[in-house]
Amino acid sequence: MLAIVCPGQGSQTPGFLTPWLELDGMTETLGTWSAATGVDLTAHGTVSDEATIKDTAVAQPLIVAAGLLAAQALDLPSLPATWTAAGHSVGEITAAALTGVLTAETALEFVRIRATGMAEAAAAEPTGMAAVLGGDPDEVLASLESHSLVPANANGAGQTVAAGSAEALAALAADPPAKARVITLKVAGAFHTPYMASAVPALQAYAEGLTAQDPAVPLLSNRDGLPVRSGRQFVDQLVDQVTRPVRWDLCMESLRQAGVTGILEVLPGGTLTGLAKRALKGTATLAVKSPEDLDAARAFIAEHSTAAGG
């Protein structure tokens, strides 16, 4: 069985869309999507520097558009309905579009409002996120609590992402839990925490007026790792997700229990397949990073779709 997963913020790198614009129609598509997001996706995906694409208002639309661009190149909508989808954080919006819950244009408008609100919330005071790698899980959580930090992402594979004030994150880095490393992430705020509360009202207002379809394939939620019951439910959870922790560990456990044999990560791939290699040993993985990966991705999809009987 095949799973298609969509990465979140921090997976972007300068110039990563440059080779994709050599594919037929991609420049025009990205131009249309730039209008939907109010962000020059072409410039930010090709020539903008690391500091620019770290900006939440830029990063989130860029990541969602990148995933949709790779999906278009792979013609994912034509796949047999024998796969499961999941996205990490903002990647859930990509997954919503891939599974038909939202149109691409609606997903991009949704992420524009989300990104703008979260960028404004992040600018209100110095906050951020840091990955805590290794250590005893209970000791890690106790350490975060002692520093007034929130476990914003439970990523599995021995990785917890702490979020909170810049001062508290610096204190954690200076005094990490036993046998753990602390790595600052390339994000501009304490996402998935109450620091983001001011971003919710505008997103909620937009969500109430949009049309959502039920997912065409099983779609896992960051809330609990379980398949969502309806498209409307998923949109409501996308709004709540702004201030709630991401339980990617539970998503991976659901993939394991479903008997997934192959995990394909869309552009900009690498982060989620890296977690899967450590947490789901024996499960095949493939990360789409450049157009050179497309042939391998098509073969991977065929192999694991066939393994599921479709």
Q: 230-251: per-residue pLDDT in tens?
A: 999 999 999 999 999 999 999 9
Residue % of the chain over a pLDDT of 90: 93
Ordered by start, the domain boundaries in the chain are: 2-123+193-307, 127-184
If pLDDT is split at 50, 70 and 90, which confidence band does 305 have? confident
Domains 2-123+193-307 and 127-184 belong to one CATH topology: no
Q: How many CB atoms lie within 10 A of CB 170?
A: 16
**Rounded alpha-carbon distances, angstroms, from residue 114 to 84, 129, 257:** 25, 18, 32
CA distance 267 to 291: 10
Which phi and psi angles does 92 have, rounded to 5°? Answer: -65, -30
Instruction: Match 């024996």 to its residue by tokens.
Output: 282
Report the amino acid identity of residue 24: D
- Confidence label for 81 from pLDDT (cuts 50, 70 and 90): confident
Among 294, 262, 287, which residue's Cα sits nearest to residue 273? 287
- Please give the Cα distance from 149 to 236 (Å, whole number): 26
Least confident of 38-47, 106-115, 128-137, 297-306: 297-306
- Distance from first CA to last CA of the chain, Å, rounded? 9
pLDDT of 84 above 50: yes
User: The tokens 């065929």 sit on which residue?
Assistant: 302
E strand or H helix at 154, and its extent? Answer: strand 150-156
Summarize the confidence of residues 86-115 as an average pLDDT: 97
State the architecture of 127-184 in CATH terms: 2-Layer Sandwich (3.30)
pLDDT digits (tens, 9 = 90+) for 180-219: 999 998 788 999 999 999 999 999 999 999 999 999 999 9
Residue 300 CB partners (closer than 8 Å, separation 6+): 262, 264, 284, 286
The pLDDT score that the predictor gives to residue 80 is 78
Could you tell me where the DSSP H helices lie in the chain? 26-37, 41-46, 50-54, 56-74, 91-98, 104-123, 137-146, 166-174, 200-209, 231-240, 248-257, 271-279, 294-307
pLDDT at 82: 82
- Give the pLDDT of residue 308: 43
Q: Residue 21: how many CA atoms within 13 Å on its side-chain side?
A: 15
Domain at 2-123+193-307, CATH homologous superfamily: Malonyl-Coenzyme A Acyl Carrier Protein, domain 2 (3.40.366.10)
**Residue 310 clears pLDDT 50, i.e. is over it:** no
Question: Residue 141 pLDDT > 70, yes or no?
Answer: yes
Q: What is the set of active-site residues? A: 89, 192
pLDDT score of 77: 78
pLDDT of residue 146 exceeding 70, the answer is yes
